[in-house]
């Protein structure tokens, strides 16, 4: 059901946004890139985010009473992080007291550097017979005076008395939100790190971020250690169904992979693990379940329900990850069984749900996740694309590693782009496959129905000697021992047909056509490498001008980094499942009908 949106206007900027009822004035401001001051991460304890409600209303909350004077409350001042809107509202925002640092991340997005992890240096008064407050009270009072709330942790309490005294009560408190993560001797504010993880089914990428500067200090990636249990999520889930031991195997495999990456990151960046306080993890729903040791079986069966969708903030030691022993892991929310936290991160990185432009974002892989929308309305779905794009089930298919043909141009001869440079080609990866098929279409060697020409049919064609037959099946020879077969073309037709149909269903539900689209964004570890023109020629994406088809890179990783560096972005991510409508394709008659109609390739004239 679509909730009625409310209009919130911010003065003196005269900026307006439309948000679902119950959104805070603080979050709504961030959706339109309006920074409201804060040091407490929107927890209602710093009092810096106050705004004056000019029209509409906002209930007075307990935090308002604590932070604001009665006269201010009467004049309509409220803490914007606590004030939820339930009617159209106009507020006035005071001048920013400080200009937060910002960094460009994601797809040209400006991110305020406002991490959830904060370091606060305090000089506490030493205890005396006149002042017998406990160590915790002493620390809490000092933090409260700075506008921070604090929940203590047993691990920190164990070390607190000794550290305070050794450091003569001059310490740095480390907070993750309001959780006290550590108390360190002296002023350590310069050393604050976090890590963003993109937990892919195939590849895992970790980026160590400096939370002070917003810069990436080191990046490492490796294959997911669960690979021996199957290449895709369904085979991993099937393995987990064998019992608790099998689930443990899966969990331990991914923990080992992540801890291996962490060890490499510490070494590469010269950072002590005790200075790494928080990690943000994104991945598909199955990967998050398996990492946390949660049964993922229901994800693979009708009606496809994950055990949890909400974001989790968990002690890193419970997840078995080697960061600061009292550090935390934050997962981003998932939208459904097949639209995971990686896609939520992608929506953050592209700003798709916050801008006026109408865009479709496609993460191409075994599953094609598709998000269509703008600030007005956002729809998403997952289309089963099969393994073609990952290079498996393709006669000479391979992963995008050294020796893989990743780009193809056909003129009167064959030009190949091979990963690793000047080495003999060993096979074709997904982007090479899409390129080959598109180029064969342009060269007139593949008809719109997907049928490859034979040498006899086009004897005069400059590439006719490349047309071969292997075991009675037609093929096109790209290099010695590497060819594309007629069956490969069929596999690709199914994959692209499924994604194209998913896009079409979403456009139909929204009531828009290709002409209404401002941009098509190709993301994910595979989509980013696709040649936009080829994607259009094979009909994977709607027929828009090719300069409006953009490769947007690893949006999952970018969104994770943004959520690590900015609690506001994280807050936006938390709200996305409420804002994005999921459209289930299975069982839809329009999916089956259009699927058949988009199996063919578009006529070339229709693309001009
Ligand atoms: S009180 Fe700190 S952000 Fe609202």
- At 384-394, the pLDDT tens digits run 887 777 767 78
Nearest to 301 by CA among 331, 335, 337, 270: 337
CA distance 353 to 504: 19
CATH number where 142 lies: 3.10.20.880
**25 CB under 6 A from ligand 1?**
no
Nearest to 280 by CA among 373, 336, 348, 380: 348
- Ligand 1 centroid to Cα of residue 39, in Å, is 7
Structural domain includes residue 110: no
**42 CB under 6 A from ligand 1?**
yes
Q: Are 558 and 464 in contact (CB under 8 A)?
A: no
Structural domain includes residue 201: yes
What percentage of the chain exceeds 70 in pLDDT? 98
CA distance 245 to 520: 44
CATH number where 10 lies: 3.10.20.30
Q: Please tell me which residue, 94 or 54, carries the higher pLDDT value.
A: 54
- Per residue in 41-71, pLDDT tens? 788 888 889 999 999 988 999 999 999 999 9
Query: Is the four-CA dihedral 270, 275, 281, 286 of positive or negative sign?
Result: positive
Among 68, 98, 128, the domain-final residue is 98
CATH number where 566 lies: 3.30.420
- Ligand 1 centroid to Cα of residue 175, in Å, is 15
Q: Over the chain, what is the mean pLDDT?
A: 91
Structural domain includes residue 210: yes
Does position 99 have pLDDT exceeding 90, yes or no?
no
- Ligand 1 centroid to Cα of residue 45, in Å, is 6
Structural domain includes residue 346: no
Structural domain includes residue 109: no
pLDDT of residue 191: 97
Among 430, 459, 491, the domain-final residue is 491
Nearest to 257 by CA among 201, 211, 213: 201
Q: How many domains does the chain have?
A: 5
Tell me: cis bond preceding 303? Omega within 30 of 0 counts: yes
pLDDT of residue 240: 92
- Any idea which residue has 């085979």 for tokens? 235
**79 CB under 6 A from ligand 1?**
yes
Q: Please tell me which residue, 231 or 412, carries the higher pLDDT value.
A: 412
Residues 287 and 372 both lie in one domain: no
Residues 369 and 510 both lie in one domain: yes
pLDDT of residue 544: 94
Q: How many helices (H) and strands (E) does the chain have?
A: 18, 28
Residues 403 and 519 both lie in one domain: no
* Strand order across the beta sheet in which 328-331 lies: 216-223, 203-210, 193-199, 276-283, 328-331, 313-315
**38 CB under 6 A from ligand 1?**
yes
pLDDT tier for residue 100 given thresholds of 50, 70 and 90? low
Residues 546 and 560 both lie in one domain: yes
**C-alpha neighbours within 13 Å on the C-beta side of residue 445:** 30
Q: Look at 19-23, 410-414, 599-603 and tell me which has the smallest mean pLDDT.
A: 19-23
Does position 278 have pLDDT exceeding 90, yes or no?
yes
pLDDT of residue 38: 82
**45 CB under 6 A from ligand 1?**
yes
Does position 109 have pLDDT exceeding 90, yes or no?
no
Residues 469 and 528 both lie in one domain: no
Does position 338 have pLDDT exceeding 80, yes or no?
yes
Query: Which ligand 1 atom minimizes the distance to the CA of 39?
Result: 2
Residues 400 and 503 both lie in one domain: no
Structural domain includes residue 105: no
- Per residue in 495-509, pLDDT tens? 999 999 999 999 999
- Ligand 1 centroid to Cα of residue 568, in Å, is 12
**24 CB under 6 A from ligand 1?**
no
Among 156, 185, 214, the domain-final residue is 185
pLDDT tier for residue 1 given thresholds of 50, 70 and 90? very low
User: Domain containing 28: what range?
Assistant: 6-98
- Per residue in 64-92, pLDDT tens? 999 999 999 999 999 999 999 999 999 99
Tell me: cis bond preceding 12? Omega within 30 of 0 counts: yes
Structural domain includes residue 548: yes
Residues 201 and 294 both lie in one domain: yes
**553 CB under 6 A from ligand 1?**
no
Residues 203 and 266 both lie in one domain: yes
Query: Which ligand 1 atom minimizes the distance to the CA of 67?
Result: 1
**48 CB under 6 A from ligand 1?**
yes
Residues 367 and 434 both lie in one domain: no
Structural domain includes residue 103: no
Residues 73 and 181 both lie in one domain: no
Burial 518-556 (b: 16+ CB within 10 A, else e): ebbbbbbbbbbbbbbebbbbbbbbbbbebebbbbbbbbb
Residues 251 and 308 both lie in one domain: yes
CATH number where 283 lies: 3.30.420.480
pTM of the model: 0.89
What percentage of the chain exceeds 90 in pLDDT? 72
Residues 126 and 49 both lie in one domain: no
Does position 419 have pLDDT exceeding 70, yes or no?
yes
Residue 239: both structure tokens together: 């393995």
* CA-closest residue to ligand 1 atom 1: 44
* CA-closest residue to ligand 1 atom 3: 42
């Amino acid at each position: 059901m679509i909730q009625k949106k409310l209009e919130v206007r911010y003065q003196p900027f005269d900026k307006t946004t439309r948000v679902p009822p119950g959104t805070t004035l603080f979050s709504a401001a961030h959706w339109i890139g309006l920074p409201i001051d804060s040091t407490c991460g929107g927890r209602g304890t710093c009092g810096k985010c106050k705004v004056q409600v000019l029209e509409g209303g906002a209930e007075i909350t307990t935090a308002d009473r604590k932070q604001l004077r009665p006269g201010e409350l009467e004049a309509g001042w409220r803490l914007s992080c606590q004030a939820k809107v339930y009617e159209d509202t106009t507020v006035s925002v005071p001048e920013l007291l400080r200009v937060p640092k910002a960094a460009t991340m994601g797809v040209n997005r400006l991110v305020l550097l406002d991490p959830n992890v904060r370091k606060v240096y305090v000089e506490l008064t030493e205890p005396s017979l006149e002042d017998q407050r406990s160590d915790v009270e002493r620390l809490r009072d000092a933090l409260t005076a700075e506008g921070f709330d604090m929940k203590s942790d047993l691990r920190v309490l164990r070390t607190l008395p000794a550290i305070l005294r050794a450091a003569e009560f001059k310490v740095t408190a480390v907070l993750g939100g309001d959780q006290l993560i550590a108390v360190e001797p002296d002023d350590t504010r310069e050393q604050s790190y976090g890590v963003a993880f993109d937990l892919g089914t195939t590849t895992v990428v970790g980026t160590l971020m400096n939370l002070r500067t917003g810069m990436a200090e080191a990046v490492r990636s490796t294959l997911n250690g669960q690979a021996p249990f199957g290449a895709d999520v369904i085979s991993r889930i099937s393995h987990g169904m064998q019992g608790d031991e099998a689930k443990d195997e899966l969990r331990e495999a991914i923990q080992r992979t992540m801890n291996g990456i962490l060890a490499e990151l510490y070494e590469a960046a010269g950072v002590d693990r005790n200075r790494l306080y928080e990690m943000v993890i994104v991945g598909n729903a199955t990967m998050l379940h398996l990492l946390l040791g949660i049964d993922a079986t229901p994800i693979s069966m009708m009606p496809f329900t994950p055990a949890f969708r909400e974001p989790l903030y968990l002690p890193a030691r419970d997840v078995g990850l080697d960061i600061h022993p009292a550090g935390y892991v934050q997962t981003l929310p998932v939208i459904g069984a097949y639209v995971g936290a990686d896609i939520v991160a992608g929506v953050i990185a592209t700003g798709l749900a916050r801008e006026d432009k109408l865009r479709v974002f496609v993460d191409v892989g075994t599953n094609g996740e598709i998000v269509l929308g703008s600030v007005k309305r956002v729809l998403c779905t997952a289309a089963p694309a099969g393994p073609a794009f990952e290079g498996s089930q393709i006669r000479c298919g391979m992963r995008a590693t050294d020796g893989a043909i990743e780009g193809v141009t056909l003129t009167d001869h064959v030009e190949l782009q091979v990963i690793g440079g000047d080495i003999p080609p060993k096979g074709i990866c997904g982007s090479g496959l899409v390129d080959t098929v598109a180029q064969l279409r342009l060269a007139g060697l593949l008809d719109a129905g997907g049928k490859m020409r034979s040498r006899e049919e086009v004897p005069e064609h400059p590439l006719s000697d490349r047309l071969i037959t292997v075991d009675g099946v037609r093929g096109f020879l790209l290099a010695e021992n590497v060819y594309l077969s007629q069956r490969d073309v069929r596999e690709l037709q199914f994959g692209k047909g499924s994604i194209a149909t998913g896009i079409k269903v979403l456009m139909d539900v929204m009531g828009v056509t290709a002409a209404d689209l401002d941009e098509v964004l190709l993301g994910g570890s595979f989509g980013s490498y696709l040649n936009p023109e080829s994607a259009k020629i094979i009909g994977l994406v709607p027929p828009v001008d090719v300069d409006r088809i953009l490769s947007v890179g690893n949006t999952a990783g970018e969104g994770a980094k943004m959520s690590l560096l900015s609690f506001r972005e994280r807050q936006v991510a938390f709200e996305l499942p409420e804002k994005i409508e999921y459209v289930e394709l299975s069982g839809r008659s329009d999916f089956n009908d259009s699927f058949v109609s988009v199996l063919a390739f578009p006529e070339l004239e229709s693309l001009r």
